[in-house]
Chains A and B, each alone.
Chain A
Amino acid sequence: MAIADRRAVDVSGAPKGAPAPEAVSPRRRTSPAKRLLKIYMERPELVALVVLIVLVAYFTIASGGLFLSPANLRGILSLFPELAIMALGFGLLMTAGEFDLSIGSTFGLTPMVVCVLCDTGLNFWPAFVVGLLCCVLIGIINGVITLRFGIPSFIATLGMLFMLRSLCVVIYSHGAAPSLPDDAPVWAFSQAIGFIRVSVIWLAVLALIVYVLLEKTNFGNWVKATGGALESAKSMGIPTNAVKVACFIICSLFAGIAGVIQVVRIASPLPSLGDGMELQAIAAAVIGGIALSGGVGNVLGAIVGMAIIRVIDSGMIMSRVDANWFQFAIGLLTVLAVIANMWLGRRARGMKVETDQ
């Protein structure tokens, strides 16, 4: 938001410190409204935010107010943070120009590893750390396969999706159906506080971390450059491979954390957990306006994208629409979002806001 505001000031106000008398020439001054429209169209996550608000309003009316009832909000806010954390990591990786289909399997495998270790007598926290180390390893493998052999990450991580899922099932059956220990720290992951859960705090903290990484640090600059124009980034001396591997690791880590949160909430690790969730995370990122081509992405987009998906899921149930239409709605929205973003982006570029003399 701050960026949008600042840009609005900069293009309309006098250039700060720039001695550019020619630039202030009276020719072709665009109206403030048009400039705001352009800024808005360049930020697809803001478009998605409006879609979210419209959907909430629609479902509230269609369900006779049931949609906004505390009980329903509590339901939405149980699953939403877990999926949104996944979408967040995935969005970061997509910004760096890569893709990870294995996050759903990582989501299932990490809590499985944690529970098996707890069953062998290890305390929860050390087991949790080992689980996260597994995520780091998965991220490194994904990155190295993709970059070392120069194959699309779509394929590399598709392979990983199957392998990790298989590991889930193998560990589950050989570990004689491990279970979450009774003394698992529910307070740290899924304790309900009013109608939110602790997982919302996890989401907020992780979102803040990704926001700071992307917008405030030079690492974020490298991520955007690597995803936006790989050759340029390389020629400017950015360690693009290291940047990508770091993003693969963060993406896997977030999926693993989300998986542990879910297992602590539902109190049992199942080998099928997270199955298909990678597709929801992709849909969320796309709906939130993160470009598949890389280089464009932000925290708000991933979160709003996932919120839209959860709101549609819950809203359809609350307003008594046949829930089998859920996937149809998400699919349609994903395609529409991409088309709309491309169209808006093109229109925005076509709108000339004076940049020079």
Chain B
Amino acid sequence: MTPLIECSGLEKWYSGVHALKKVDFTVQQGEAVGLVGDNGAGKSTLIKILSGVHDADAGTIRVEGKQVRIRNPRQAMELGIETIYQYNSMVPTMSIARNVFIGREPLKWGALGIGWMDKKKMQRESVRAIADVDLHLRSPDALVGELSGGQRQGVAIARAMHFKSKVLILDEPTNHLSVKETDKVIGFVRDLKHQNVSGIFISHNIHHVFECCDRIVAMARGEIVFDKPAAETSVDEVHGLL
């Protein structure tokens, strides 16, 4: 089976700092990969390249076997790569329905990409999308700012599912969440598989990663130093490496 994402020889420099050194990284269809590593290990750089925030200086990226160049977040999303950042994925001052469709609003009519939003459809589909990830919110008109951190991550995941993403990148989604909410987010990641969506789960917390990932990849100093199925390794082994 062709891997969903296949990066080879990715290189990235930031003004003299060699942030990624010939990184090869693959994600299979429906697989949840845990990406761990210390600060500055290159995790963020790697996912920023995949999500279109940064461009790699060298190397190739293939999505479902086809070589692509991801120039901006929009292109990443069109390729089915959706990223959920620790803070930056929702606009707290906007309603849930508007947040679900940011940048991808259904239009009744329009020209040059600007037009009249189909608000009924946005409300209807956002309610359904949220229910699909087993999160129940009373009103799609409630402001995202009123939701708890876990609920926000749930809405972000619902959004990704609604737009039929093929791979979901979660960057430290459990930071600053209560234990109960962390469990909920971990549950979301586990459920991705049932919907045949791959996940890349980035976390400082190795326990969280082990709870929901099939494979563990560890990075250090811009290189991948460890790559094993979760079943063949242990929290202690990964801990020892870092």
Asked if B72 is an interface residue, CB under 8 A from chain A, the answer is yes
Contacts of B24 in A (CB 8 A): none
Find out whether the CB atom of B85 lies under 8 angstroms from the CB atom of A235: yes
Q: What is the chain B residue whose CB lies nearest that of A291?
A: B93
Contacts of A238 in B (CB 8 A): 102-103
Contact of A20 (CB < 8 Å), options: B53, B87, B114, B136: B136
Cα-based distance from A216 to B107 in the complex (angstroms): 10
Find out whether the CB atom of A355 lies under 8 angstroms from the CB atom of B91: no
Q: Which residues A317-357 have CB closer than 8 A to chain B?
A: 349, 353-357
Cα-based distance from A22 to B72 in the complex (angstroms): 40
Q: What is the chain A residue whose CB lies nearest that of B90?
A: A232
Contacts of B107 in A (CB 8 A): 218
Asked if A219 is an interface residue, CB under 8 A from chain B, the answer is yes
Find out whether the CB atom of B138 lies under 8 angstroms from the CB atom of A218: no
Contacts of B92 in A (CB 8 A): 228-229
Asked if B40 is an interface residue, CB under 8 A from chain A, the answer is no
Asked if A17 is an interface residue, CB under 8 A from chain B, the answer is yes
Find out whether the CB atom of A217 lies under 8 angstroms from the CB atom of B115: yes
CB of A245 to closest CB in B, whole Å? 14
Most chain A CB within 10 A, of B87, B107, B110, B117, is at: B117
Asked if B142 is an interface residue, CB under 8 A from chain A, the answer is yes
Contacts of B53 in A (CB 8 A): 235
Asked if B153 is an interface residue, CB under 8 A from chain A, the answer is no
Find out whether the CB atom of A218 lies under 8 angstroms from the CB atom of B131: no
CB of B202 to closest CB in A, whole Å? 15
Question: Known: A218-B117, A233-B102, A355-B146. Is A228-B137 also a contact (CB below 8 A)?
Answer: no
Q: What is the chain A residue whose CB lies nearest that of B72?
A: A237
Q: How many residues of A contact B (CB 8 A)?
A: 43
| Complex interface: stretch among A5-13, A125-133, A145-153, A253-261 | A5-13
Contacts of A291 in B (CB 8 A): 93
Q: Which residues A168-217 have CB closer than 8 A to chain B?
A: 216-217
Find out whether the CB atom of A217 lies under 8 angstroms from the CB atom of B116: yes
Asked if A301 is an interface residue, CB under 8 A from chain B, the answer is no
Find out whether the CB atom of A10 lies under 8 angstroms from the CB atom of B136: no
Contact of A222 (CB < 8 Å), options: B103, B124, B145: B103
Asked if A33 is an interface residue, CB under 8 A from chain B, the answer is no
Contacts of B238 in A (CB 8 A): none
Cα-based distance from A227 to B94 in the complex (angstroms): 10
Contacts of A310 in B (CB 8 A): none
Q: Which residues B102-152 have CB closer than 8 A to chain A?
A: 102-103, 105, 107, 110, 113-117, 119, 123-124, 127-128, 130-131, 135-143, 145-147, 151
Find out whether the CB atom of A235 lies under 8 angstroms from the CB atom of B51: yes
Asked if B88 is an interface residue, CB under 8 A from chain A, the answer is yes
Q: What is the chain B residue whose CB lies nearest that of A357?
A: B136
Contact of A15 (CB < 8 Å), options: B73, B117, B139: B139
Asked if B74 is an interface residue, CB under 8 A from chain A, the answer is yes
CB of B171 to closest CB in A, whole Å? 10
Find out whether the CB atom of A236 lies under 8 angstroms from the CB atom of B103: yes
Asked if A224 is an interface residue, CB under 8 A from chain B, the answer is yes
Question: Known: A236-B102, A295-B91. Is A17-B124 also a contact (CB below 8 A)?
Answer: yes
Q: What is the chain B residue whose CB lies nearest that of A95?
A: B93
Cα-based distance from A354 to B137 in the complex (angstroms): 8
Cα-based distance from A231 to B73 in the complex (angstroms): 12
Asked if A114 is an interface residue, CB under 8 A from chain B, the answer is no
Cα-based distance from A221 to B100 in the complex (angstroms): 11
Cα-based distance from A23 to B135 in the complex (angstroms): 10
Interface string of B79-102 (1 = CB under 8 A from A): 000010101111111100010011
Asked if A27 is an interface residue, CB under 8 A from chain B, the answer is no
Cα-based distance from A234 to B83 in the complex (angstroms): 12
Find out whether the CB atom of A235 lies under 8 angstroms from the CB atom of B135: no
Asked if B77 is an interface residue, CB under 8 A from chain A, the answer is yes
CB of B26 to closest CB in A, whole Å? 24
Asked if A308 is an interface residue, CB under 8 A from chain B, the answer is no
CB of A30 to closest CB in B, whole Å? 11
CB of B118 to closest CB in A, whole Å? 10
Contacts of A15 in B (CB 8 A): 127, 136, 138-139
Contacts of A233 in B (CB 8 A): 91, 102-103
Question: Known: A6-B141, A7-B139, A17-B128. Is A218-B114 also a contact (CB below 8 A)?
Answer: yes
CB of B155 to closest CB in A, whole Å? 11
Cα-based distance from A354 to B138 in the complex (angstroms): 7
Asked if A85 is an interface residue, CB under 8 A from chain B, the answer is no
Asked if A286 is an interface residue, CB under 8 A from chain B, the answer is no
Interface string of B46-60 (1 = CB under 8 A from A): 000001010000000
Find out whether the CB atom of A231 lies under 8 angstroms from the CB atom of B138: no
Contact of B93 (CB < 8 Å), options: A16, A217, A228, A237: A228
Given contacts A15-B136, A18-B130, A235-B51, 4 further A-B contacts (CB under 8 A): A7-B141, A232-B85, A232-B88, A356-B136
Enumerate the 10 nearest inter-chain pairs by beta-carbon distance, A residue then B residue, closest first: A237-B74, A20-B136, A218-B105, A295-B93, A10-B139, A228-B93, A231-B88, A228-B91, A229-B91, A236-B103
Chain B residues in contact with chain A, CB under 8 A? 51, 53, 72-74, 77, 83, 85, 87-94, 98, 101-103, 105, 107, 110, 113-117, 119, 123-124, 127-128, 130-131, 135-143, 145-147, 151
Instruction: Pick 25 A–B contacts, CB within 8 A, sort by A.
Output: A6-B141, A11-B139, A20-B136, A20-B137, A216-B116, A218-B107, A218-B114, A221-B94, A224-B91, A225-B91, A225-B103, A227-B93, A228-B91, A228-B93, A232-B90, A233-B102, A236-B73, A236-B89, A291-B93, A295-B94, A353-B142, A354-B138, A355-B137, A355-B146, A356-B137
